[in-house]
């Protein structure tokens, strides 16, 4: 038991050093800047207003679209439900900046659709940011809503139908009360995701500057770390509110519901409408991805669209292969070390009581409230001048901390469902805790471990937020080439990089699917 306490103290100290201390360094850096002048400036006020408007609009659209999509996939009887579910999450496998670039290729001044149909309205600005953000946030909203619908208790509906209660009354009396609290969590999560993203606004925002873009410009272009810290503190606000709401309402929002799968009702007309809707949504999602594939194999966009591999060769010659190697190396270490760390922390918080476990749990989920840009700036300020600054190790550490909360919660939930008396029985029989973990708990949660590893890998491959402040020319991940090529107007190269990232992530997802399908784990 003493060994367990020592391990928890070590883990708590590690998390405090790698998350809380950098955040403290960023907040302390505000003291060295004229925060009042920054906050009252016209530029800041406009960026804040733009961020709230764009994020609010994109959140509403994303959740409405995802709600009907989730209803069709979870509750419908249409064909290809599993295929639609997979296609609906495809945008999660590429960086957010790629969504903005895809819209430029489709609807920009020289976009394919613009050239064919003669659209005159510019895609840049508010409309472009909202459209790209919807593409980026839709999969997250869909997964969260599908999970809510999948575990909704079906017995109240059976009773209501037997009593002859109209369907509209069932929605307001049964569905809405059940959905109200989790739906608020979905709204917070999607709004925070869009509000703190700088990839889409950077690519397609034009003069419609948002807070994350303003922060990026202040730090990367002007090296104003104090101003960047002030803006970063504002980016923490919606994420912090969402984090606190989820922390204090999660358990109360889920108790009292007996999970009984709700029976799907066959409705030929409704199922056909649901099929057409899902097909249309997936077609829109696939359009930017299709454009990346087309653009990668043309000679010169938009003047010469003949088939060619010259741009692929040029992209590789400009370092795409080397930077892809960096990304794969970073993603590998993040997935291995991050999964191990998250699982061990999940074990102690889920299966060992005490205040230290509660502290570990709280700190572990704190990263949910820290946007990538803020974490990257915090690391740059805290580790500057140290031996890890500018190294691959710091990129690995930043990505582990940035993405740790969700895999940790996977491990926490899985380990918490296993028999709570295993360690006590093992202690009675003289079996050490290590062997219980190795021979019983780890095999029982191996599927969760696979999902955790794939989550770390995929997100490390496509992130552009935290690493943009921390990487150098030597260790830069391939995702940052998209920004560089776009600035050089080499859209063909940026499209090919997006395809490379998508391909790597699809391979990982396919491997996990095959392992689970064949029962190898």
Residue 263 is predicted with a pLDDT of 53
- Tell me how far the alpha carbon of residue 376 is from its chain's centroid: 16
pTM value? 0.87
Q: What is the CATH number of domain 1-32+309-521?
A: 1.10.3720.10
Rounded to whole angstroms, how far apart are CA atoms 282 and 64?
Answer: 15
User: What distances in angstroms separate CA 509 from CA 80, 95, 158, 438, 517, one per listed residue?
Assistant: 19, 16, 37, 26, 12
Residues 199-227 have pLDDT tens digits of 999 999 988 999 999 998 888 777 788 88
- In contact, 209 and 43? CB cutoff 8 Å: yes
φ and ψ at residue 349, rounded to 5 degrees: -75, -30
Checking phi first, is residue 355 left (phi over 0); if not, alpha (psi -120 to 50) or beta? Answer: alpha
From the list 108, 104, 129, 123, the residue with the least C-alpha distance to 50 is 129
Rounded to whole angstroms, how far apart are CA atoms 316 and 497?
Answer: 9
Q: Which residue has the tokens 């572990």?
A: 364
Residue 256 is predicted with a pLDDT of 44
pLDDT surpassing 50 at residue 258: no
Rounded to whole angstroms, how far apart are CA atoms 55 and 126?
Answer: 10
Greater pLDDT, 267 or 500: 500
222 Cβ neighbours under 8 A, 6+ residues apart:
none
DSSP string, 336-391: HHHHHHHHHHHHHHHHS-SHHHHHHHHHHHHGGGS-HHHHHHHHHHHHTTSTTTTS
φ and ψ at residue 404, rounded to 5 degrees: -70, -30
pLDDT surpassing 90 at residue 105: no
Assign domain 55-296 one CATH number from 2.60.40.1120, 1.10.3720.10, 3.30.70.360, 3.40.50.300.
1.10.3720.10
Spans of all domains in the chain: 1-32+309-521, 55-296
pLDDT surpassing 50 at residue 253: no
Cβ neighbours around 380 below 10 Å, total: 23
Mean residue pLDDT of the chain comes to 86
Residue 428 is predicted with a pLDDT of 85
Q: Would the CA dihedral through 412, 415, 421, 424 be positive or negative?
A: negative
Tell me the chain's radius of gyration from C-alpha atoms. Answer: 24
pLDDT average, residue stretch 108-112: 80
Among 127-136, 237-246, 406-415, top mean pLDDT goes to 127-136
């Amino acid at each position: 038991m003493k060994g367990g306490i020592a391990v928890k103290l070590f883990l708590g100290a590690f998390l405090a050093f790698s998350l809380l201390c950098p955040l403290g360094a960023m907040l302390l850096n505000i003291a060295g800047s004229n925060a009042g002048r920054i906050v009252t400036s016209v530029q800041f006020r406009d960026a804040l207003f733009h961020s709230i408007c764009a994020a609010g609009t994109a959140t509403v659209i994303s959740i409405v679209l995802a709600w009907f999509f989730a209803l069709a996939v979870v509750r419908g009887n249409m064909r290809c439900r599993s295929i639609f579910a997979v296609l609906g999450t495809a945008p999660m496998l590429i960086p957010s900046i790629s969504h903005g670039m895809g819209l430029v290729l489709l609807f920009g001044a020289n976009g394919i659709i613009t050239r064919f149909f003669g659209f005159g309205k510019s895609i840049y600005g508010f409309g472009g940011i909202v459209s790209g953000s919807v593409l980026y946030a839709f999969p997250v909203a869909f997964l969260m809503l599908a999970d809510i619908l999948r575990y909704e208790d079906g017995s109240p509906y059976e009773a209501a139908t037997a009593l002859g209660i109209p369907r509209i009354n069932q929605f307001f009396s049964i569905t809405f009360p059940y959905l109200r609290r989790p739906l608020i969590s979905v709204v917070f999560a999607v709004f925070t995701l869009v509000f703190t993203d700088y990839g889409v606004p950077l690519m397609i925002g034009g003069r419609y500057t948002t807070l994350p873009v303003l922060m990026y410009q202040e730090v990367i272009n002007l090296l104003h770390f104090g101003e960047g810290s002030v803006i970063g503190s504002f980016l923490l606000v919606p994420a912090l509110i969402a984090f606190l709401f989820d922390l204090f309402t999660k358990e109360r929002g889920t108790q009292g519901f007996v999970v009984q799968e709700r029976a799907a009702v066959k409705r030929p007309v409704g199922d056909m409408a649901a099929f057409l809707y899902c097909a249309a949504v997936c077609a829109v999602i696939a359009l930017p991805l299709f454009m990346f594939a087309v653009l990668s194999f043309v000679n010169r966009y938009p003047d010469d669209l003949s088939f060619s591999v010259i741009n692929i060769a040029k992209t590789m010659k400009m370092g795409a292969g080397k930077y892809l190697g960096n990304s794969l190396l970073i993603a590998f270490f993040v997935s291995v070390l991050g999964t191990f760390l998250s699982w061990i922390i999940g074990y102690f918080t889920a299966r060992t009581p005490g205040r230290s476990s509660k502290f570990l749990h709280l700190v572990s989920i704190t990263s949910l409230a820290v946007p990538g840009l803020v974490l990257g700036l915090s690391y740059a300020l805290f580790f500057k001048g140290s031996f890890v600054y500018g190294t691959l190790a710091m990129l690995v550490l930043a990505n582990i901390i940035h993405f740790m909360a969700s895999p940790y919660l996977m491990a926490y939930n899985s380990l918490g469902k296993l028999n709570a008396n295993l360690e006590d029985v093992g202690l009675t029989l003289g079996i050490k805790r290590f062997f219980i973990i190795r021979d019983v708990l780890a095999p029982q949660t191996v599927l969760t471990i696979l999902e955790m590893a794939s989550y770390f890998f995929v997100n490390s491959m496509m992130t552009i937020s935290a690493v943009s402040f921390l990487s150098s020319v030597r260790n830069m991940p391939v995702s940052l080439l998209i920004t560089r090529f776009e600035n050089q107007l080499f859209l063909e190269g940026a499209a090919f990089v997006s395809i490379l990232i998508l391909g790597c992530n699809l391979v990982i997802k396919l491997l996990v699917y095959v392992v689970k399908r064949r029962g190898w784990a």
